[in-house]
Structure 1
Amino acid sequence: MPIDKVLRGLTERASVSCALLALSLCAGTAARAEAPLSAIDWLSQSVAVPVAQPLPPEEPAVSAGALPADVAVSTLDGPAPDAAGLLSPQATGLPRALWGLGRTDEIAAALTAADPGNLPALQSLLLTLLLAEAEAPADAAGRGVLLLARIDRLLAMGALDQAQALLEAGGSQAPDFFRRSFDVALLTGTEDRACEVMQAAPDLAPTFPARIFCLARSGDWNAAALTLRTAQALGFVTEEEDALLSRFLDPDLYEGEGDLPAPARPTPLGWRMMEAVGEPLSTHTLPIAFSHAELRDAAGWKAQIEAAERLARAGAIEPNLLLGLYTERLPAASGGVWDRVEAFQRLDAALTSGNAEEASRRLPAAWAQMTGAELEVPFATLFSERLADLTLTGPAAALAFRIGLLSPRYERIAMARTAADPAEAFLVGVARGALAGVAPQDAMGRAVAQAFLTPALAPDAQVLLDQNRLGEALLWAMDRIATGVQGDLRGVTDGLTLLRHVGLEDTARRGALELLLLERRG
């Protein structure tokens, strides 16, 4: 039903309802206008967030170095949302006192800034830190600051399923947490359930756009139209929101008027409404979290593949999802992603049939395609075991060995290999953690070797460990290795040394092999 007809039929009730809606929504909308920006600037303003009152001014802290000058103090027996996690200490191998004497705000800032340097081993380590069960920092005071920072970092990585699971583990329906859960639902196609939660929660104050969206999703178009009229009358929607909401409620009324201008900074709510009015926005240039929207059945196969590739590069999804999409059907065309799909399928068919000769012929082309897309580690995870089961010939045999070193089976692959040259001997040594008697072949190799043969903890790392701040020390190691990838190879040595010193030998070896085998420099 056209919105103008709906509104004309509800004119008398609108004047009364405007007042009632104003009482319930005005305060929330005002709070929305004043709310501070999130660390993630694309979150939807779905519910009003209370504005924190400013604290009295304090003397500025003075620090003589990059490390915090003081440690934190704690409040006993309070709630500890920051301790929530999905992975137990037994699963992670990390202590429950992961953050030691660190300060909450500094830990949160370090997590936000952490740079795994496009290395899958470090991406996995960061994911583990974000999902780990651990005691809340001493000064957490039940505020949930660190939990929110961990969730935001997961969202920024595109790890939406993990973020939603952590939101549920935290158990809070406070506005800041619900906003994130609502956006995850919008991007993963579960928005109807999120709308039900929002409408049933008395402590949440939905903003006008979110309320209108949810009313329409529930089929109550009359109430949605009335709510829009209320928002217009009270001046609580911007011109951009008004145009989009009006078209969302009755797109037929605007047929032939041309497309809406694309928003400068789309939110998940805006993205879904643009899609609903037949003007979907490409996710290629949007934050990686939006790629999940392309994994829904409503998206085309090409869009699904490209979204899965982007998420796989970030370590946000399992490689098997990529496998399922690559092998779903025959390529629809040639060039670009279709060449990658074809090469993948031809190799998969050769391995499935056990044809070593055909696999030897198909492997180089498939590897070249995956290298061009920086999907080497997901590819290795999927195929290393099957490649090792065949007796490949020619260049494919040496290539399969190197691919195997990028997989979780790297040590077993190395132990079964007789090195063909000094370069392979060094790779075998790294994979086995035994570099005595093997020679590095380049500057990166020398930086790696030093961490295994003559390790020495950097002073900054020692300070963090002395204060039992292992989590921050691991973030420091990531940043040092990322610096090394950019050219400061001392950072590679420092970071790998720290990882090995604290017992993360597997992460250190996998990271070292990725540094040696992947083109991730500069």
Structure 2
Amino acid sequence: MLTRSFLVGLAVGLSAIPAVADEPLSAIDWLSNSVTAPAAPAVVALPEADIANSAAPETITVRPLGAPSIDAVGLLPASTTGLPPNLWGSSPTAELARLISAEHVDTLPAIQKLLYTLLLAELDPPIDSDGKNQLLLARLDKLLELGALEQAQALLERAGPTDPELFRRWFDVSLLTGHEDRACAAMRASPGIAPTFPARIFCLARGGDWNAAALTLETGKALGYLSDQEDALLLLFLDPEMADSEKPFVPPSRPSPLVFRMLEAIGEPLPTTSLPLAFAQADLRSTTGWKAQIEAAERLARRGAISANRLLGVYTQRLPAASGGIWERVDAVQEFDVAMLSGDPGAIAKTLPKAWAAMESAELEAPFAELYGERLSRLPLPAETAEMVFHIGLLSDSYELIAAARDQASGTDALLQAVAKGQIEGISARGATASAVIEAFSNPALSAPMEDALAQQKLGEALLRAIRLITDGARGDVSDVTEGLALLRRVGLEDTARRAALELLILERRG
């Protein structure tokens, strides 16, 4: 066993290891300090002069002609999204990044889907893109906030995580998805990536080089590059016998993925329910208990980070061995799914109300409708389930066909049918939300700022603002909904506008 005093003596000879540079602030404050950022070049202050020494503008963006911009990287081509390649137009990169960072992740499913499209689309970079990856980093951080690790990882690998800030995110995504050995191998193979001491120690230990890991720990401590908390955790990770039993380790309230995985390795895993959503992905692994998998799958499905089929797969892994709480929801979904597989209208009608109520209580109506809405609409079910089946169908991809197939509806269903068909003429309804939707579909006027954004070729910026308007409107001020929906319709996103309007009326989301 190597002793601490011996290792500290060796640290003197290793003092040439580079210091950890200050990390730039990130919107995702739980990212690991896994790599050092390159030092900023020194700036020499010149004495002020009364005479200008250049007629050029104060700020100039320089990029080699024909050089690709990583801000343009995406997973969805224009042929898939239907968006114009020059969507970002003349909008400043900094403003686009700010708008993306400010978007709420708790929004209507259709608006959530539009946000995902904007985050993953392959588009021309903004006109002032300067190679600092500001827009790409904003898109990645929003995906991480949504818990969409698979999408973020694919986007990072398409871009090439060679830049320290990109690698930092790729490293953390790999930790949370159980690919830490691959991340450590990439770190060792990338001479341009300088790992911080905690990441270096973690990867040395994962590679089986425990002596080198212990030596690096002592070096980092001796040179002042490790905090007392980092030192205590790394000691526990390398060898519990080396830890100070009189000072038990207290995990941070906001752990990084690196801290999260080390705590898991020493047998002290943290529950993810109180952690940022991205950590829930770690609970989807088969090594996690079923209840934790279900809770994680529900949280992620609610934000569109995993598919409806994956949620169903977690629900139906086995029979619940308990009752009450989440198990009632699992039992309701399992009974209904068995009824759907049997094709028995009686069994379906009997189990549907309980399953739908369970999904409503968990705000998982959209995944449920995606799985069953179109199939339910084709079944000969009793009249007492007709309204429920109609609403579920309107939340599915087949909403327009389902609305067209129904006889003339009345009351609120008449408004829903009209919105789904895009034929709002002659429809009236009571309530602020219904009035806001009718206004958007009958008199789609835009405010002067929104008209100016379109005139100045700032379509992407206008869409981001519309997303915020609809989200805020669903939370209270429904007057915002009208302009948001009107903008979507003006620019040809009719399907998104109709689906968002239907969700507003059916789901009654209020944040």
Name the TM-score, length of structure 2 as normaliser: 0.93
Structure 2 CA distance for partners of 1:373 and 1:54, relative to 1, 3 Å: farther
Trace 1:142-153 onto structure 2 (pairs within 5 A): 142-153=131-142
Letter in 2 for 1:160: L
The answer to whether the 8 A contact 1:74-1:141 is kept is yes
Tell me which of 29, 34, 38 is aligned to 1:50: 38
Q: State the match for 1:6 in structure 2.
A: 2
The answer to whether the 8 A contact 2:161-2:170 is kept is no
Q: State the match for 2:455 in structure 1.
A: 466
Q: State the match for 2:322 in structure 1.
A: 333
How big is the shift at 1:36? 2.5
Letter in 2 for 1:151: L
Residues 393-447 of structure 1: per-residue CA shift (max 9 Å, x gap): 1432220110111111111111111244222111111011111122224221111
Tell me which of 488, 494, 511 is aligned to 2:477: 488
Residues 115-168 of structure 1: per-residue CA shift (max 9 Å, x gap): 365201011101100111111111112221111111111111111111111111
The answer to whether the 8 A contact 2:284-2:296 is kept is yes
How big is the shift at 1:274? 0.9
1:200 paired to 2:189 = yes
1:390 paired to 2:358 = no
Letter in 2 for 1:154: L
**Whole-Å separation in 2 of the counterparts to 1:208 and 1:116:** 34
How big is the shift at 1:252? 5.5
Q: Secondary structure at the match of 2:349?
A: helix
Residues 225-283 of structure 1: per-residue CA shift (max 9 Å, x gap): 11112122222211101110001111356698796212122000001111111111111
Q: State the match for 1:498 in structure 2.
A: 487
Residues 478-498 of structure 1: per-residue CA shift (max 9 Å, x gap): 111122113222211100000
- Structure 1, unaligned runs of 5 or more: 58-70
Tell me which of 156, 160, 176 is aligned to 1:167: 156
1:411 paired to 2:404 = no
Residues 448-486 of structure 1: per-residue CA shift (max 9 Å, x gap): 011111111221211111111111110111111122113
1:449 paired to 2:438 = yes
Tell me which of 329, 339, 353 is aligned to 1:350: 339
**Whole-Å separation in 2 of the counterparts to 1:457 and 1:74:** 36
The answer to whether the 8 A contact 2:444-2:486 is kept is yes
**Whole-Å separation in 2 of the counterparts to 1:429 and 1:400:** 17
Tell me which of 104, 120, 131 is aligned to 1:115: 104
How big is the shift at 1:380? 0.6
Q: Secondary structure at the match of 1:23?
A: coil
Q: State the match for 1:19 in structure 2.
A: 13
How big is the shift at 1:83? 0.7
Structure 2 CA distance for partners of 1:213 and 1:308, relative to 1, 3 Å: same
Structure 2 CA distance for partners of 1:258 and 1:374, relative to 1, 3 Å: farther
Letter in 1 for 2:27: A
Q: State the match for 2:219 in structure 1.
A: 230
Structure 2 CA distance for partners of 1:127 and 1:74, relative to 1, 3 Å: farther
**Whole-Å separation in 2 of the counterparts to 1:116 and 1:11:** 51
**Whole-Å separation in 2 of the counterparts to 1:51 and 1:488:** 46
Q: State the match for 2:66 in structure 1.
A: 77
Trace 1:313-328 onto structure 2 (pairs within 5 A): 313-328=302-317
Q: Secondary structure at the match of 1:449?
A: helix
**Whole-Å separation in 1 of the counterparts to 2:310 and 2:459:** 33
The answer to whether the 8 A contact 1:247-1:253 is kept is yes
Residues 168-200 of structure 1: per-residue CA shift (max 9 Å, x gap): 111241111100000000100001000000011
Structure 2 CA distance for partners of 1:253 and 1:217, relative to 1, 3 Å: same
**Whole-Å separation in 2 of the counterparts to 1:311 and 1:169:** 23
**Whole-Å separation in 2 of the counterparts to 1:409 and 1:259:** 57
Using the aligned pairs only, state the percent identity: 55
Tell me which of 106, 127, 137 is aligned to 2:95: 106
Letter in 2 for 1:7: T
The answer to whether the 8 A contact 2:184-2:203 is kept is yes
**Whole-Å separation in 2 of the counterparts to 1:408 and 1:175:** 41
**Whole-Å separation in 2 of the counterparts to 1:55 and 1:460:** 39
- Structure 2, unaligned runs of 5 or more: 46-58
The answer to whether the 8 A contact 1:259-1:279 is kept is no
Structure 2 CA distance for partners of 1:117 and 1:453, relative to 1, 3 Å: farther
Tell me which of 247, 268, 272 is aligned to 2:261: 272
Q: Secondary structure at the match of 2:16?
A: helix
**Whole-Å separation in 1 of the counterparts to 2:43 and 2:140:** 25
Trace 1:171-186 onto structure 2 (pairs within 5 A): 171-186=160-175
**Whole-Å separation in 1 of the counterparts to 2:505 and 2:140:** 32
Structure 2 CA distance for partners of 1:334 and 1:168, relative to 1, 3 Å: same
Q: How many residues align?
A: 497
Q: Secondary structure at the match of 2:294?
A: helix
Residues 335-375 of structure 1: per-residue CA shift (max 9 Å, x gap): 11111000000000111101111111111111111111000
1:370 paired to 2:359 = yes
**Whole-Å separation in 1 of the counterparts to 2:9 and 2:42:** 37
RMSD between superposed Cα atoms in Å:
2.1
Structure 2 CA distance for partners of 1:501 and 1:74, relative to 1, 3 Å: farther
Q: Which moved more, 1:501-510 or 1:47-56?
A: 47-56
Structure 2 CA distance for partners of 1:437 and 1:6, relative to 1, 3 Å: same
Structure 2 CA distance for partners of 1:419 and 1:250, relative to 1, 3 Å: farther
How big is the shift at 1:328? 0.8
**Whole-Å separation in 2 of the counterparts to 1:258 and 1:359:** 58
The answer to whether the 8 A contact 2:61-2:130 is kept is no
Q: State the match for 1:518 in structure 2.
A: 507
Residues 48-107 of structure 1: per-residue CA shift (max 9 Å, x gap): 0124458799xxxxxxxxxxxxx9977543331111111111111100001100101111
Q: State the match for 1:61 in structure 2.
A: none
Name the TM-score, length of structure 1 as normaliser: 0.91
**Whole-Å separation in 2 of the counterparts to 1:454 and 1:54:** 57
Q: State the match for 1:298 in structure 2.
A: 287
How big is the shift at 1:385? 2.4
1:36 paired to 2:32 = no
1:425 paired to 2:420 = no
**Whole-Å separation in 2 of the counterparts to 1:381 and 1:521:** 22
**Whole-Å separation in 2 of the counterparts to 1:484 and 1:6:** 62
